[in-house]
């Protein structure tokens, strides 16, 4: 799947999940627990933290997939 298709797929999946489970969900839970401020909008710091979090999740997924 191409990068653009993955982005669109993720946006649609996220929108459907939010439709099924509406409510006020806090963002950046792990970042806040690690001492970073709450995610209140888009800035470079939040973007970098999101990328690092995604890399950690992908790493964990690949470890579990090998097992």
- Choice between 9 and 39, residue whose per-residue pLDDT is larger: 9
Task: Give the per-residue pLDDT at 26.
Answer: 64
pLDDT at 1 (0 to 100): 65
Distance CA 46, CA 61 (A): 22
Distances (CA, A) of 39 to 15, 47, 56: 19, 10, 18
Summary mean pLDDT of the chain: 79
CA quadruple 7, 10, 12, 15: dihedral sign: negative
- Pair of tokens at residue 26: 């806090």
In this prediction, residue 66 has a pLDDT band, given cuts at 50, 70 and 90, of confident
Helices (H), the chain: 3-20, 29-33, 44-66
Domain map of the chain by residue range? 25-67
């Amino acid at each position: 799947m191409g990068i653009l298709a993955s982005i669109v797929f993720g946006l649609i999946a996220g929108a459907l999940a939010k439709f099924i489970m509406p409510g006020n969900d806090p963002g950046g839970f792990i970042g806040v627990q690690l001492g970073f401020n709450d995610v209140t909008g888009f800035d470079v710091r939040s973007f970098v933290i999101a990328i690092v979090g995604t890399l950690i999740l992908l790493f964990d997924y690949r470890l579990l997939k090998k097992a």
